[in-house]
A and B are shown apart, each in its own frame.
Chain A
């Protein structure tokens, strides 16, 4: 373990260092719990949605090729569904960036508090 401790010091010389109890205190603080809950509330459903939506494509194309070959206008369902994946991915990315501004605000409070506590010592 001495090696590990030394490693951290040398690998991250200028980094913020704090005692184990400080990290625990931050991790258990209400602000941090709020941040994690807020993040989870967006990221978990977004991740599940995109994985399900994406894998619907190979599953449908692979196992229902006749259905996916139905013509719609001058293209077919398979092509339209594939094309829709691009726009869905962009929309999810856009929504994430919006939600993440909120994460940043919550994180900043935690950062300020931690830096203050450090400065006060």
Chain B
């Protein structure tokens, strides 16, 4: 039989054991509560971070179709293109002896400046003096630069196909010009189906139903991809890049950089 001292020691041990178990249980419960807090805080923080990442990225400048601003923009486009034949992505007389292959990316801001004649960009003067007169024609070709740097090849294909589909109705240049006029910040995700639709709706002569159907045409996508591959094979480093092809030879005008009208004129004269 255990002595009184032993019994007291055993009772003390049991009490300590119980206290340890209670402490461990309390600790476990506290840790689980903290774990819950950590998980909730983590989910909330991740959601906030993703929301910030997605937010503020729809800076499109597309005015509503038929609004005075849209009409004004389209008038400027028409003033440049009116009376010049269009076929697919070609602007100008198909029989013109000189062809200017214009490699561009519709999201590229340098292409915008070049096409709209900003900061000395020579495109409007080229259209007025060389294309309208039948001396040269411009053929637009897709080359993924700004869109691929900031977004993806699939977005590039989507936007270029939208423009090429307008080309099936011989309105490619109307669409491309509008795209450049209303271009957003290349680092934002402004290009989406709604933006592409809004551009199309601003072109009065464009049949929306046909345009929608044509965007699913595999041949158009293949053309965009072929142009992009061709730019790669030519070793072009950026957009806009102009390859001027004439009866004598062909030449690259200031590839990947800004071309002025005098540079384009010189190249056209050289290859003619």
A-B interaction: no
